[in-house]
Structures are given as structure tokens and as C-alpha cells.
Amino acid sequence: MELEKRIELAAKWISNSQSLVVFTGAGFSTDSGIPDYRGPDGVWTRRDKGLPPPKSPPWDQVKPNQGHYLMVELLNLGKLDFLISQNVDGLHAKSGIPFDRLAELHGNMYFMNCLECNQKMTFEEVGWDKKKWGKGYLTNSVKNGQPNCPKCGGRVVSSIVNFGDSLPVDVLEESFRRSEKSDVFFVIGSSLVVTPAALLPGNAQRNGAKLIILNSGEIPPDFKPDLRFYENISEVLPAIVAKVKDLLSIS
């Protein structure tokens, strides 16, 4: 199917949707300057070729790109029901997606969680000095004198989920619940190889959702999307959202 026809069909499904869920991966943030992992110049791709990591600006200086703000547009149009992200860069929240509409499966680099009361707080709210106490990962050893939760006194750790760590149960369960309820599940910028996150699109499709995948790289062959885009996100996503607005008669 020609690109224009695919864009029109995606926009039609989204404009008619009552429960659109968007699922984003590392490719969503490449236009912000953050390299992805499995793309042609990704972190793992270069590593496997014996090359140094791709250049990246300091993550705390990176800003949301057009794609992030297009998600906010879909939310404001009443079309985005929920957004699930594998990214830890915090850019969806920075762009204006509220936390009650956002599941950050692998955490957020700006936040810590209390292991006792599950309170979510910034490093500044905790009083955590990374130069003194390190990054605060769950797998790091506890150091004498490090700050505890200001709410309950429990241990606080970075919200980022490291390799080998389990995903937060509440976030994962909410993501599965939202995917099961979705009528359109739109994957953007994910190679869909990291589980259990990669189980969500199939879960949505089995429960009747239309599955759209926008990713320039390869995905596992067991995925059978209803609509597939191989083009760049910056080429396709603005056109889809513009068409959605046309269909909704919004200028």
C-alpha cells in the first residue's frame, strides 16, 4: 500500500478510536539526539560491530521533539487514552503527558521510588546527591547515611529498571489492562524484542485492537500488524496527526 493510503488509514482508525494506546521505544527519542539501541547506528548495533557508542548529548539537557508534542496533541484532541513507553528519558512527561496517562515501563531518570510506600519523588525532593551516593539503583549496595523516603523513612531507589530487574508490578499490570481495552494500539520506534514490554502489542491485538507499527528497523516475524510503516517517524507521524485533525474537522 502506498504511503499516503497507509497514512489515511491510520488516521481513520485513530479518529474513530475510543481507546487509543500508543507504545513508544528508543526510536521515538532519536530526533531529540538520544541514540537508539538496535537501529543502523544504535548502541548495540555499533557495539556488535566493535565500534564505540554513538555520540549523545547529556540526557538532562535533551528536550522533547516534535513527536512528543504530537502525542500531547492527540491527548488534547481526546484521542489518546494512554501512552506506554520503554524510554527512561522523561521526555513524554516533559512534553506534557500527565502521569495518570503515562506508564514508563523502565522508569524515569528524574525520579526515585520508595520501596515501602511506593511514593514517587524527584532526586531533589529526596535530597539525593548522585556525586555522593551514586545513581541509586536497586542493585546498588546501601551506603551509610544515604537519604531515606521523606514520607515514611523507607529505602528509596532510582525508578530506572536495570537489566535483570523486574518491572514495577503496578505499572506493568496497568499497561496490560490498558492494552486489553484498546481498540487501536500504535507502536512507534520500538523493535519489540524486550520482554515483557513486547508482549503488550500482541495482547492488544488478541483482544480486538488494530495494531499499527511505525519502526524503520526490523521486528520479530511473529508480529502481524494490521498496518506497517517502515518510514522515519518524523516523516509519518506529523502527517497522521494532521490527517486526524482534518477528519475531526479541527484546524
Per-residue pLDDT tens digits for 29-63: 999 998 766 666 555 566 667 777 767 777 678 99
Instruction: Give the per-residue pLDDT at 166.
Output: 82
Specify the CATH class of 3-109+167-247 in words: alpha beta
Scored b (16 or more CB within 10 A) or e, 45-79 reads: bbeeeeeeeeeeeebeebebbebbebbbbbbeeeb
Are 96 and 102 spatial neighbours (Cβ–Cβ below 8 Å)?
Answer: no
Active site residues: 106
Instruction: Give the per-residue pLDDT at 165.
Output: 79
Domain assignments of the chain as residue spans, ordered by start:
3-109+167-247, 111-159
Per-residue pLDDT tens digits for 185-201: 999 999 999 889 999 99
Given a cut of 60, whether residue 204 has pLDDT beyond it is yes
pTM: 0.90
Average pLDDT, the chain: 92
Which grid cell sits at 29? 527519542
Per-residue pLDDT tens digits for 97-147: 999 999 999 999 999 999 999 999 999 999 999 999 999 999 899 988 999
Instruction: Give the per-residue pLDDT at 54.
Output: 64
At 8, the pLDDT band (50, 70, 90 cuts) reads very high
Per-residue pLDDT tens digits for 209-223: 999 999 988 899 999
Instruction: Give the per-residue pLDDT at 48.
Output: 67
Which grid cell sits at 8? 489515511
Please tell me which residue, 151 or 47, carries the higher pLDDT value: 151
Give CA–CA dist 185/169, Å, rounded: 21
